[in-house]
A and B are shown apart, each in its own frame.
Chain A
């Protein structure tokens, strides 16, 4: 629940009090050290230089002691440096820009819908209402096979879409980073709903002729949060293998999963999911330190599968007529909120500044001991992060998170605009959002980014990145030709 807002003048005074408090708590170490250093300085000045020289001469070391001390220091230093986790850099990433021929404006979508579901006008109307309130724009894209009436989801068409999306993104990544295919040590591909044999990772290895001792993994079924799961796996692998490059390909292949029935809960994904993909290069090589865009700070994964309701809320099943589709339950938002709370509980202590943590602790103690009626303190995550990338799962998800985390419209602008321009591209949407922030030239060195994604299961995964260098607005990329038009105003309901 948001705290009640007091009237204007007292709110200004409160703001200064809050600022002072934050400054005090966050810099407590420096503030306590200053008087100590001042005292030492005064003492030194009082003693005078001659006395200090005498003090130095009175120290008596012999060879063995010096040797022992120096060995110990060197040993401890080496152990410390060796046991530090390796820094993982995000060198660069590339998002797939769908061709204009695949565009699905509202009119096309509704026309298709009317033709395919011609004897079910109620379902057509349902889809229209969803589309009106979806927050999607007119430039989202669906794969070519889905443009057919009726759609032709053969395995060959699905492979065609996979090749189009993945190879475009990979080509773009290799060009941007100058990476040679032979230098890729780890390859992780995640695509939830399409896993042909041989895997999509084998397809990438075949196309780019990657090395035979590459460590490849093909994750699937892990939903819209699979991109961050791949980042987690890459991070763990890069800790073990020094001097390595890891390429992650995140995508969702829509062709085989277009629902062809008329169950309402299953028609929803048809309206929201769109074609998209991204390829990301991670590295732990120190030579990439200067070139890398971001540094990975934390990845936190939360899985709510143990709870039956959470498990069932996004479920792939057959309807009465045998058509396979993904049904979304009505309590999706509530479960997403719960999962987010669990994730925040873990990530909060890692990223929040000391001032927020102290406040949270005090209110917690206060509620437990003094008065349970005190409102729970929601930590201000705007203190910890400059940018937020919330998975563009749908308008409702973004609204819910904006309310829960008390974010301003500018913070969620990247998510809303990505939903408008590209639709819900599943695991790759986070990368489109990051690209939006970079295209708007808002990314400065030292900025912290929080990527949050939800997925079926029910999972909530988040990743924290720190910007390594100020990024100039890129001349290529998915937003290059349209960034000047954004942000657009997205009305509540678009009349169709």
Chain B
């Protein structure tokens, strides 16, 4: 009789424990991406070598030295012929941007990405419960978020957040807000819109450290629809597994390496310091160190710990400084199938590829995105994701790691699980067959290499064609 009572009690405890785990999981909530739509500007905004040259010629403040510097920067940038620029750059008015230009630039992005997204997903604007916008360099009254609410006539009890100035890593921060809201409230639809405002932020001076953003940043944007309704599981594309944010603002050299300020002539621009690569690497390493225990399988963690101990023992026993031999490195490929890296520039991609030991196959989506769309700031991650999708690389059960770096200095990363085989091309539909191309070199070198032969800055003048 005693045994029966005991067994009953035990099974009851187990049963209650299972219910408890289920309640806890329910409480934690899920975060699904239902759909996303990147922005593809119209073809009349394409920036090829010709147009690029025209814009540079038009700048009154640039001289021979700056041209040489720009040539070197653009040739090695990895950016191709089909990237998009804001209208104001093409019309020649880039030195006198108005607030209205900036707002209209954003309107185009919103119209295209949000319009297509809502149309395809069948969700009406009235069903959106959370709206998060991040556009780093444009801050208007009323906010861009309010502008979207007005355009699409959303509900009046919507939770809206307008983030600015958070740099190229802001889209992961927006996902962080949405994830936290999903844990507190049930059955929500969230719309995250990420973009960058380039028109009003053109630098019209000639400081080398501030001229680079002019060449590297391009127009782009993305709208992402998320939900935590478990019923939508069959329609979800991705599920969020993990998100880690690292902020190195406490270090002065990380904070000061990327700053918006005025140069000596009073022109406003973004200053990129020489300590930028080091600050970026440090932030990235710290972030990876934090996310590794959360995502790596136990086997890989164990292997890494064993190797570390062996290396320490070897070093202490032989008493030699470790000149040769490979350092114990974590192999992220054991848990991550695809890497979505922010297209900060060729140097950034090379650097990250080396530290994570990634092959050319892994880096192909990032390089191709940089080539086709340029550095679209916070939305670049989603273009890279679109490439992977268009190349049919994303299969159910795969894991995608998104890594982004931003001013401050921040490194944010998140891990997504692919919920079903993805086949849609998004913005890459019409050009995916041409990728990867034979060569990534842009014709800038052929066209303008004669500049390198010029030496006298005072008598230099562009030959009229």
Which residues of A does B touch, CB under 8 Å? 63-64, 67-68, 71, 75, 78-79, 82-83, 85, 154-156, 192-203, 205-206, 208-223, 229, 232-233, 236-237, 239-240, 301-308, 311, 314-318, 322, 324, 326, 342, 346, 456-459
In the complex, A246 Cα to B255 Cα: how many Å?
22
Task: Decide if A220 touches B164 in the complex (CB within 8 Å).
Answer: yes
> A83–B408 Cα gap in the complex (Å)?
37
Q: Which residues from B are CB-within-8-Å of A240?
A: 180, 183-184
Contact with B255, one of A202, A303, A316, A318 (Cβ below 8 angstroms): A202
Contact A315-B149, Cβ < 8 Å, known A155-B262, A200-B165, A218-B165: no
Q: Select B180's contact among A203, A219, A237, A318, beta carbons within 8 Å.
A: A237
Q: What is the chain B residue whose CB lies nearest that of A239?
A: B184
Query: Which residues on the B side are within 8 Å of A314 (C-beta)?
Result: 141-142
25 residue pairs of the A-B complex, CB under 8 angstroms, read A64-B8, A64-B9, A67-B5, A79-B23, A83-B27, A154-B266, A155-B268, A193-B141, A195-B137, A196-B260, A199-B408, A202-B407, A205-B250, A205-B255, A208-B250, A209-B250, A210-B250, A213-B244, A213-B246, A218-B166, A236-B185, A301-B157, A305-B147, A322-B98, A457-B149
Return chain A residues, CB-CB under 8 Å to B408.
198-199, 202, 205
A236→B180 contact, CB < 8 A? yes
**B423 contacts the other chain (CB 8 A):** no
B347 sits at the interface (CB 8 A)? no
The answer to whether B142 and A305 touch across the interface, beta carbons within 8 angstroms, is yes
Could you say which of B9, B153, B160, B165 contacts A198, with CB atoms under 8 Å apart?
B165
Residues of B within 8 A of A193 (CB): 139, 141
Does B154 count as interface, using CB distance less than 8 angstroms?
yes
Interface assignment of B247: CB less than 8 Å from any CB of chain A: yes
B126: nearest chain-A partner, CB-CB: A306
The answer on a CB contact under 8 Å between B247 and A196 is no
B residues in contact with A63, CB < 8 Å: 5
Q: How far is the CA of A236 from the CA of B130 in the complex (A)?
A: 13
Closest to A230 in B: B161
The count of A-to-B residue pairs whose CB atoms sit within 8 angstroms is 222
Please tell me if the beta carbons of A67 and B12 are within 8 angstroms of each other in the complex.
yes
Distance, CA A156 to CA B258, complexed state (A): 15
Q: How far is the CA of A232 from the CA of B185 in the complex (A)?
A: 13
Q: Is the CB of B167 within 8 A of A306?
A: no
Residues in A neighbouring B140, C-beta threshold 8 A = 221, 316
Are B247 and A214 closer than 8 Å at their CB atoms?
yes
Residues of B within 8 A of A206 (CB): 249-252, 255
**B12: contacting residue among A68, A203, A205, A221, CB under 8 A:** A68
Which 7 pairs across A and B sit closest by C-beta, in order of nearness? A221-B143, A205-B249, A305-B149, A199-B165, A457-B146, A316-B141, A195-B165
- For B79, what are the chain A residues with a Cβ–Cβ distance below 8 Å? none
* Interface presence of B64 (CB below 8 A): no
CA distance A221 to B161 in the complex (A): 10
State whether B165 touches A212 (Cβ < 8 A).
no
Q: Which residue of B has the minimal Cβ distance to A205? A: B249
Most buried by B among A85, A202, A233, A307: A202
User: In the complex, what residue of chain B is closest to A302 when comparing beta carbons?
Assistant: B156
Separation of A320 and B189 alpha carbons in the complex (Å): 41
Q: How many residues of chain B have a CB within 8 Å of chain A?
A: 73
- Complex: A83 Cα to B24 Cα, angstroms: 9
Q: In the complex, which residues of chain A have a beta carbon less than 8 angstroms from the beta carbon of B246?
A: 212-213
Residues of A contacting B143 in the complex (Cβ-Cβ under 8 angstroms): 220-223, 456-457
Contact among A156, A220, A302, A318 with B261 in the assembled complex (CB-CB below 8 Å): A156
Let me know if B149 and A213 touch, CB within 8 A. no
Q: Is B298 an interface residue (CB 8 A)?
A: no
B156 touches A220 (CB 8 A): no
CB pair A303–B12 under 8 Å, yes or no, is no
* B144 located at the interface, meaning its Cβ lies under 8 Å from any Cβ of chain A in the complex: yes
Check if B150 is an interface residue, CB within 8 A of chain A: yes
Q: How far is the CB of B260 from chain A (nearest CB, A)?
A: 4
Is B448 in contact with chain A by the CB < 8 A criterion?
A: no
Cβ contacts under 8 Å, B141 to chain A: 192-193, 221, 223, 314-316, 326, 456
B residues near A346, Cβ cutoff 8 Å: 157
Query: Is B310 in contact with chain A by the CB < 8 A criterion?
Result: no
How distant is the Cα of A75 from the Cα of B27 in the complex, in angstroms? 16
CB-based contact A219/B163 at 8 Å: yes
- Residue B155 CB within 8 A of the other chain: yes
B19 contacts which chain A residues (CB < 8 A)? Answer: 75
Assess whether B145 is interfacial by the CB under 8 Å rule: yes
Chain A contacts for B155, CB-based, 8 A? 303, 306
Query: Which listed residue (B157, B159, B163, B286) contacts A218, Cβ 8 A?
Result: B163
Q: Does A197 contact B260, Cβ atoms closer than 8 Å?
A: yes
Q: Is A197 in contact with B137, judged by CB distance below 8 angstroms?
A: yes
Contact digits for B10-27, partner A, Cβ 8 Å, 1 yes 0 no: 001100100110010001
**B245 at interface by CB-CB < 8 Å:** yes
- Given the interface pairs A209-B250, A223-B141, A318-B98, the reply to whether A306 lies near B162 with Cβ below 8 Å is no
A193 to B146, CA, bound (A): 15
Query: Chain B residues near A85 (CB, 8 Å)?
Result: 184
Q: A75-B20, A239-B184 are in contact. List 5 more A-B contacts (CB 8 A).
A: A83-B27, A216-B247, A236-B184, A316-B141, A342-B156
Would you call B119 an interface residue if the criterion is a C-beta within 8 Å of the partner chain's C-beta atoms? no
* Complex Cα spacing A342 to B157, Å: 10
- Residues on the A chain within 8 Å of B177, using CB: 217, 233
Across the interface, A197 reaches (CB within 8 A) one of B249, B290, B407, namely: B407
Contact B99 A305 (CB under 8 A): no
- Please determine whether B157 and A303 come into contact, CB atoms closer than 8 angstroms: yes
Give the residue of A78, A196, A311 whose beta carbon is less than 8 angstroms from that of B150: A311
Question: Chain B residues with Cβ under 8 A from A222's Cβ?
Answer: 143, 145, 162
Known: A199-B165, A212-B246, A456-B146. A71 touches B16 (CB 8 A): yes
User: Are A221 and B144 within 8 A (Cβ)?
Assistant: yes
Question: Which residues of A sit under 8 angstroms from B266, Cβ to Cβ?
Answer: 154
Contacts of B262 in A (CB 8 A): 154-156
The reply to whether B159 and A232 form a contact with Cβ atoms under 8 Å apart is yes
Nearest-Cβ distance from residue B70 to partner chain A, whole angstroms: 22
**Residues in A neighbouring B162, C-beta threshold 8 A:** 219-222
Cβ of B176 within 8 Å of any chain A Cβ, yes or no, is: yes
